[in-house]
Amino acid sequence: MHSRTRILLFLLLLGYTPGFYCHAQEATTEKPNPTSMEPILEKSANLLLSIEEQGYEVVHLEVDILKTVRYTYRSLYPDYEYGLLIFGDYRLKSVQLKVYQNLDGAWAPITGLKTEQQNGNTLVTFKPQAYGKYRFEWIGEAFVAEQTAGHAGLLIFH
pLDDT of 3 higher than 60: no
3-class SS string, the chain? CCHHHHHHHHHHHHHCHHHHHHHHHHHHHHCCCCCCCHHHHHHHHHHHHHHHHCCCCEEEEEEEEECCEEEEEEEECCCCCEEEEEEECCCEEEEEEEEEEEECCEEEECCCCEEEEECCEEEEEECCCCCEEEEEEEEEEEECCCCCCEEEEEEEEC
Could you give the CA distance from residue 48 to residue 33 in angstroms, rounded to a whole number? 25
Q: Is 27 exposed, middle or buried (0-12, 13-18, 19+ CB in 10 A)?
A: middle
Could you give the CA distance from residue 158 to residue 145 in angstroms, rounded to a whole number? 35
pLDDT band at 61 (very low <50, low <70, confident <90, very high): very high
Instruction: Please write the tens of the pLDDT for every residue from 63-90.
Output: 999 999 999 999 999 999 999 999 999 9
In the beta sheet, which residues pair with residue 109? Answer: 100
Instruction: Write out the CATH class of domain 3-157.
Output: mainly beta
pLDDT band at 2 (very low <50, low <70, confident <90, very high): low
* Structure-model confidence comparison of residues 44 and 26, the more confident one: 44
Q: Output the pTM of the full model.
A: 0.79
Q: What is the pLDDT of residue 14?
A: 53
Percent of residues, the chain, with pLDDT higher than 90: 71
pLDDT of 10 higher than 70: no
